[in-house]
Structure 1
Amino acid sequence: MGGCDLTLILRYRKAVTYGHHVLLAALEEHETATAYEVVFAETAAATVEAIRAAKAAKVLVLWSFYSPDAAALAEELAGIRAAAPGAVHVAGGVHATAEPVQTLDAGWDIAAVGEGESTLLSLVDSAGDPAGIQGLVYRDEHGTLQRTGKAHREPLGTYRAFPLTYKRINPIEITRGCVYACRFCQTPFMFSARFRHRSVDNVRWHVDRMRERGLRDVRFITPTALSYGSQDESPNLAAVEELLATCKEGLGPDGRVFFGSFPSEIRPEHVSREALQLVKKYCSNNNIIVGAQSGSDRVLDAAKRGHGVEEVKRAIRLGVEEGFRINVDMIFGMPGEDQEDVDASLTLARELAELGARIHAHTFMPLPGTPWRDAPPGDVDPETIRAVDRLSQQGALYGHWQRQREHAQRLAAAAEAYPRPGRSRTLLPIRPSPEQVESPANP
């Protein structure tokens, strides 16, 4: 591995492969005077080995991670630095974007803020020198914090969805950003609260490349599947049908299209008989994911979800009637939840399970970069835990909600260490007592 100006080592983890693939897709089309090489390191030990073996003048180790993984990866980073000094470690993704200074203090040299494609291309052009490159936070040789702003936001389709050179194929990202600025979600606050869609022709190009390589299954990355082609809260079913029909045609009779299932979901108010029949007509999945999040209208309103409980119930009934197995996302321990809200969520979970749905349970985590970043961590009381466990034993519920309780505690502690001036917790209003409700002052 010699004769190059720059070695790029990807700390390649299963949970974040798509993020690395997008960067590589941009890089493979980019013309640069810098001679570089790319190394995939799937373990900490492989990362150490790659750093030691690199002969380039500059070695960049590229990391991408979600906020719940930040603490564990900081420990891994410390071990890698001790065993193989000399590399520059660059962190990207939603956590580095939301908490760049915290990321630097945890051991990384550079935090990439925002979308990474154009930033990486500039770093390669500069042979790894961060000076003057937009989209970075770092400390210069004097220890002074340098902030260069967020990276350029390009139209989705400017860069490929996956790289061909490195033979790393993944689901096609068809939408980036989200107009639904839910208070607990990082997506709209990293990518902006608007939709950018990949064109049907651009998606078809990717499908054709997949078919040429013998691949027959196509899946999509999108925060809300039935929003494809829309710029507001209304589904554009004509655009969805054009997308699905083109993909099905491109794959041929043996190809399979999966839509509204992992790694994407459908908002409950978007579920209609017409939409479900489109999925049945063109797609192979017999299951869909619906984001309910809570059984309390009060909680849904505070979270700025944009739908209520009745829309959830209607969506699941329609889905079951059309023959789909429904997976329903629900979050327990939302900020300001009281026992009445918890009971409402458990009641909804049981009702949906009786209809045949499976509940994908989560514990609320105060994620950096969201309006609820400074809210208390999700706290699920013992009785609720027992009720959720009973659903799990019946096969009606699944998920890593217990592990997320631990992540939530760590995120809350990190937020306390890096307070944000003027940030309120934006909790739910306190529910009035029965005495207050019945008081003559509250007719």
Structure 2
Amino acid sequence: MAGLDLVLVLRYRKAVTYGFHALLGALGEHETATRFEVRFGESTEETARHIREADDTRVLVLWSFYSPDAAALAEELQQIRALADGPHVTHLAGGVHATAEPVQTLDAGWDMAAIGEGESTLISLVDAKGDPTGITGLAYRDATGKLVRTGKARQRPLDDFPGFALKWDRFNALEITRGCVYACRFCQTPFMFSARFRHRSVENVRWHVDRMRERGLRDVRFITPTALSYGSQTEEPNLAAVEELLASCREGIGPGGRVFFGSFPSEIRPEHITRETLRLVKRYCANNNIIVGAQSGSDRILASAKRGHGVEEVRRAVRLGVEEGFRINVDMIFGMPGEDGQDTEDSLRLARELADLGARIHAHTFMPLPGTPWRDAPPGDVDPATISEVDRLSRRGALYGHWQKQRDHAQRLAAAAEAYPRPGRSRTLLPMVRTEPASATPE
């Protein structure tokens, strides 16, 4: 393309638009001498066409994906290379999987892996017209095949960058918190962004809401690992900060707008749910449903996963939520490391109890995700009796989710972990020792 220094082609998939919009938001506010254009590839064929149409202009193809999608997208990468390729084309993978497994990502066919937060890395790459030399936040192989790691990019305040791409008119739920102090052993979030909270300021959030309203958008949603932790740096909620946030958003979006909090794509920890917090949500927000992260009905498994709460907090949260008029969706993971028959029965018992109260169970199968402490754990294995009970709950409308598909993903992730073992770690996990009688159940 005549007159351009660089063409950015996004392999633009519905599952990862949030991350791309954040990158483009940062790029759209950045002043650079590089003459560039952005193209959205919403299919394999469209992505390849954008690459071909760039002629000999340098092309940086941006990919972002979660660990369960890595194998399928590696195959798609090869298809795109077969349709359009050349020495001027560089494929860059980012996101949690590339951060956790950069060498595996390179060996799967990508030219570069972005490590950590991508905003400043992308800006630097655009300034350098795609040349990675001296840019932090990357892993790649040099001309001799030697692995080059430049470390994680510097973490910057969320207020430094917009949360969506105004220049390209691309909007999404707004990220208000990055990182998480809880560091659950199955979750990638704290190990990519660090085990601390970084919050977007109320003033900055309001700026985004005002921009949305100007463009006729009427629904405000948030991305956060734990909604009622907004404004806090500890495990205790800061309700004054939460109320300031919600009141500002409610005012900003106007009488025809709606604010959603504690519903998709975020959740609320069970120990944070009280009548006060529920009524705070009800006062300012439009959602009649809340997502509660329970994860297990076994106190033993919750302690092993370092969840920071027990089963009784889950029961109490669901009861309170139902009493206050909310529909409660409860996340539960089956097949976590060390889980035995009693733990599974405890989870099923809790699921039935919560369903009887009116909650819906969002079922998951444990996946050994890269970058987590349980990366080398065996994949979740759900026995036939559990499958039968889960199916029974599903038929009565009390359970939903893609837990069957996650079983297949878990097997593939375990196989990949075998091929790329962590130094000093054994693939064999010792079974946990039960510390209470097998018949004991938490009161």
TM-score by length of 2: 0.97
CA distance in 1, matches of 2:296, 2:310: 9
Q: 1:129: which partner in 2?
A: 131
CA shift digits 1:267-287 (9 cap, x unpaired): 000001000000000000000
Pick the aligned partner of 2:362 from 360, 363, 367: 360
**Residues 331-384 of structure 1, C-alpha deviations (whole Å, 9 max, x = no match):** 000011000000000000000000000000000000000000000000000010
**How far off is 1:432 after superposition?**
7.1
Q: CA deviation at 1:245?
A: 0.3
The one-character-per-residue Cα deviations of 1:402-423 (angstroms, maximum 9, x if unpaired) are: 0000000000000000001223
Q: Alignment length, in residue pairs?
A: 436
1:3–1:55 Cα contact (<8 Å) kept: no
1:431 CA displacement: 2.8
**One-letter amino acid of the structure 2 residue matched with residue 83 of structure 1:** L
The equivalent position to 1:249 in structure 2, one of 248, 251, 256, is 251
- What's the CA shift string for 1:289-324, capped at 9, x where partnerless? 000000000000000000000000000000001000
Partner of 1:346: 348
**Using the alignment, how far apart are the partners of 1:185 and 1:312 within structure 2?**
19
Shift of 1:427: 5.7
Q: Which residue of 2 aligns with 1:191?
A: 193
**1:82 positional shift:** 1.5
Query: Does structure 2 retain, via aligned residues, the 8 Å contact 1:30–1:121?
Result: yes
Q: Secondary structure at the match of 1:146?
A: strand
Distance 1:289 1:111 in 2: 33
Match for 1:11: what amino acid? Answer: R
Indicate the residue corresponding to 1:440 in structure 2. Answer: none
> What do the CA deviations read for 1:200-239 (whole angstroms, capped 9, x no partner)?
0000000000000011110000000000000010000100
Quick one: which of 268, 274, 278 aligns to 2:270?
Answer: 268
Aligned equivalent of 2:423: 421
- Pick which of 44-53 and 364-373 moved more: 44-53
Aligned to 1:431: 434
* Displacement after TM superposition at 1:393 (Å): 0.3
In 2, the alpha carbon distance for the partners of 1:275 and 1:164 equals 33
TM-score normalised over the length of structure 1? 0.97
Aligned AA (1:395) = G
Which residue in 2 is equivalent to 1:395?
Answer: 397
Partner of 1:441: none
**Partner of residue 338, structure 2:** 336
* Alignment correspondent of 1:25: 25
Q: Map of 1:145-294 to 2, 5 A cutoff?
A: 145-294=147-296
Instruction: Name the CA shift for 1:434/1:135 in 2 (closer, same or farther; >3 Å).
Output: closer
Amino acid paired to 1:23: L
**Distance verdict in 2 for CA 1:246–1:376, change over 3 Å:** same
Show structure 1 runs of 4+ deviating over 2 A. Answer: 423-428, 430-435
**Ranges in structure 1 where 5+ consecutive residues have no aligned partner:** 438-443
Give the SS at the match of 1:319.
helix
Partners of 1:194 and 1:306 in 2: how far apart?
15
**In 1, distance between residues paired with 2:437 and 2:312?**
25
User: Does the 8 Å CA contact 1:66/1:95 hold for their aligned counterparts?
Assistant: yes
The 2-side partners of 1:426 and 1:324 are apart by 40
Identical counterparts, % of pairs? 77
Give RMSD over aligned pairs: 1.4
Q: Distance in 2 between matches of 1:403 and 1:253?
A: 41
Contact 1:200 1:246 in 2 (8 A): yes
Counterparts of 1:61-100 in structure 2, within 5 Å, are 61-86=61-86, 87-100=89-102
DSSP 3-state at the match of 2:318? helix
Residue 433 of structure 2 aligns with an amino acid whose one-letter code is I
The CA deviation at 1:57 is: 2.8
Instruction: Determine the C-alpha separation between the residues in 1 that align with 2:82 and 2:363.
Output: 39
Please tell me whether the aligned partners of residues 371 and 426 of structure 1 are also in contact (alpha carbons under 8 angstroms).
Answer: no
Unaligned runs of 5+ in 2: none
Moved more, 82-91 or 353-362: 82-91
The residue number in structure 2 matching 1:16 is: 16
Mapped to 1, the partners of 2:431 and 2:305 lie a distance apart of 9
